[in-house]
Structure 1
Amino acid sequence: PVTCPSASGQFAYTADCAKFYQCDNGVATVTNCQSQLVFNPQTGYCDWPANKVPQTEIRIPPEMFKPQFANLCTQNPYGGNPGETFLVRHPEYCNAFFTCTEGFI
């Protein structure tokens, strides 16, 4: 069982950055963020990864950089200007992101 840090509020679910704990009267429930959003522990809300949501640092093994990931940076999912740097969520690991700059990872 999960112990809530306080009786109510939203708290990070460290196993999956697209989820969070919703605590009500000390009872924790795992809740999903909307599609493409991640939980921001600083605000207590789901947010766009591009808003510099703090993540737990992880070491990315070389096998995560597969050739099929090369096209991840061809289109900015947030609209942005061409050439603008943006983050793209790793398709297999929710707590990993690629930094895209001018079409390259």
Structure 2
Amino acid sequence: MNQFHLITLIVTLIVQQVASQCGGGRGTGYFAHESQCDRYYICENGQVVNEGLCDDGLVFNEYGNPSRLKCELPFGIDCSNRPNLQPPKPTGECPRQNGMFPDPRDCTRFIECGNGEAHVKSCASGLAYNRVNGNCDWPENTPECPAEALLGFTCPPATQRELQLFGNPRYAHPTDCKMLYACIPVTTDPSGPRTPRLLGCDDGFVFNSETGACDNPKNVRGCENYYGNTIDANNRYSLVASSS
């Protein structure tokens, strides 16, 4: 290969690289870096004019309108072909300056970090923090927080009657009339092993283990006064929520 052809090849490669960085050589706006998920190029008319870096903990979302800079939490953003990240800048309980991270002390809590400031938050009762999608989730989807250990309940083998009547067998909570455990199959086999989920009846109702459904408290022995009773203007009893 002579010197002319070598120079031509180098120029061609440079042009192709710039084109790929700027949306095919015609782009204006923000475009993904080829190897680092939190870095991006700023382009004008297909030419790189600068580079940028998202705040620590955020990544560049390459999808959508390139005219708007999108540095976002990494959940749901595919960084598999540009996996590198800037070195973390931990502060206190925050592994990175921004993001949502599992609380190492309690799998039902998570640490929300913004500019290095940590806020510990809790999932609703019966749910655990899912570090993959950044949401509070059913515990069977969070390996760090097994449902049986979290809820203190193990699903008994389901009877054919229970499967026919309810699909997913339901069991009363031992101390709270409003709450119940629903046993969900962990495989496609409905007669196979099941994992519990903690569910609750709507306000004004309690769980009736005899029918497997939410019911008026007066129909459930031991739960008649769960909400307390009051007399309305027509001298009829109605249900009101109490602080219990």
Larger RCO: 1 or 2 (CA < 8 Å, sep 6+): 1
How has the CA–CA distance of structure 1 residues 42 and 77 changed in structure 2, closer, same or farther, with 3 Å as cutoff? farther
What CA deviation, in whole Å up to 9, does each residue of 1:36-62 have, x standing for no partner?
100111145111113x1122269xxxx
How has the CA–CA distance of structure 1 residues 57 and 19 changed in structure 2, closer, same or farther, with 3 Å as cutoff? closer
Query: What residue is the counterpart of 2:62 in the other structure?
Result: 41
Q: What is the RMSD computed on CA atoms of the aligned residues? A: 3.2
Match of 2:110, SS? coil
- Identify unmatched segments of 5+ residues in structure 2: 1-13, 83-100, 113-119, 134-141, 146-244
The separation in 2 between residues aligned to 1:80 and 1:39, in whole angstroms, is 26
Query: What residue is the counterpart of 1:81 in the other structure?
Result: 122
The separation in 2 between residues aligned to 1:76 and 1:14, in whole angstroms, is 31
| 1:53 and 2:64 are equivalent in the alignment | no
Match of 1:7, SS? coil
TM-score, normalised relative to structure 1? 0.55
How has the CA–CA distance of structure 1 residues 35 and 11 changed in structure 2, closer, same or farther, with 3 Å as cutoff? same
Deviation at 1:31, TM superposition (A): 1.0
Identity of aligned residues (%): 23
> Could you tell which deviates more after superposition, 15-24 or 72-81?
72-81
- Identify unmatched segments of 5+ residues in structure 1: 59-71, 89-100
* Alpha-carbon contact 2:60-2:71 (below 8 Å) kept: yes
Deviation at 1:76, TM superposition (A): 3.0
Larger Rg: 2
- Structure 1 counterpart of 2:57, one-letter code: Q
Q: How many pairs does the alignment contain?
A: 79
* Alpha-carbon contact 2:30-2:41 (below 8 Å) kept: yes
Deviation at 1:87, TM superposition (A): 4.0
